[in-house]
Amino acid sequence: MATTALRGLQLLEALAGMRQPAALHDIAERTGLSDSYAFRILRSLEHDGYLHHLGRSGYRLAGRAIALATLIGPRPAMLRLMHPVVAKLASISGEAAVVHLRAGDTRVLVLGVPAPSGPVVDPAGVLGERSPLAVGASGRVILAYLPPSELAGIDLHGVTTERLAEIRERGYEMSCGENHPGINGISVPLLAEADDPGGPPVALGSITVAGPSSHLSCDVLTRLAGPLLGASRDLSPRLGALLGPNPGATVEGLDL
């Protein structure tokens, strides 16, 4: 019984990180189970309301699983604060919108809202995905606002201080297929006021619009800079206030 319960949690965890609906075979392969064993567990999870079975399309998370994640997640208040802003951005842009928070020399994808016509899970990564700050627009736009003392301890992968200065000057950064082939994106920083009123802002993370390169060319990406910057102006001070007087340390303490 204990083993079956653990397998059920593993299947839910795997499905949460996949594009949904996901096929039975893909879920079983992700968890290292046979199709028949995975099917029996998935059927039980469906019966109890944790999954929806969409016929040949596969499985997706149901309301009970999402509610459980909200109740026990380490950052429910923060996610509730961010979701309306990110959902509005996805609606305006017609593309997926995601939020990354800084975690040391990496950033972690903590929230994703899919494109209105897109998959349930956003195409720019999966929740919990961790990537180097120096790779991709969502990381470099965070790097651009870090003080030199912190930059000195991070592998910049060839990103120059001149490039970081250019990112700060225009207020956004773009990338084309760097982390996910065929996916382009544009990112702006999420900044909080420093403890020292005269000090530079604290880079908490970034907010990004991303989608297939087939209809998100560089020209289209630059047109999304305005809505992105507006979303950042809306979200940044509220996120900083929620995290407290030393927001950078609070983010680090979340152990993302």
Tell me the pLDDT tens digit for each residue of 32-81.
899 999 999 999 988 888 888 888 889 987 766 655 554 455 466 777 88
pLDDT in tens, 214-249: 888 888 899 999 999 999 999 998 888 777 655 555
Last residue of a domain, one of 41, 69, 97: 69
Let me know whether 179 and 95 are in one domain.
yes
Let me know whether 232 and 160 are in one domain.
yes
Question: How many structural domains does the chain have?
Answer: 2
Instruction: Report the pLDDT value the prediction gives residue 137, as an integer from 0 to 100.
Output: 93
CATH number at residue 45: 1.10.10.10
pLDDT in tens, 183-193: 899 999 999 88
What is this structure's pTM?
0.69
CA distance 211 to 176: 10
Mean pLDDT score of the chain:
82
CB 88 within 8 A of CB 111: no
Let me know whether 40 and 24 are in one domain.
yes
CATH number at residue 240: 3.30.450.40
Q: Which residue has the higher pLDDT, 4 or 107?
A: 107
Let me know whether 86 and 39 are in one domain.
no
List strand residue ranges (DSSP E) for the chain, in order. Answer: 51-53, 59-61, 96-103, 106-113, 130-132, 173-176, 183-192, 202-212
Q: Which residue has the higher pLDDT, 234 or 129?
A: 234
Let me know whether 88 and 163 are in one domain.
yes
Question: Which segment of 74-83, 103-112, 114-123, 230-239 scores lowest on mean pLDDT?
Answer: 114-123
Instruction: Report the pLDDT value the prediction gives residue 18, as an integer from 0 to 100.
Output: 76
Let me know whether 184 and 134 are in one domain.
yes
Last residue of a domain, one of 10, 37, 69: 69
Structural domain boundaries, residue 46? 2-69
Let me know whether 44 and 107 are in one domain.
no
Instruction: Report the pLDDT value the prediction gives residue 251, as an integer from 0 to 100.
Output: 57
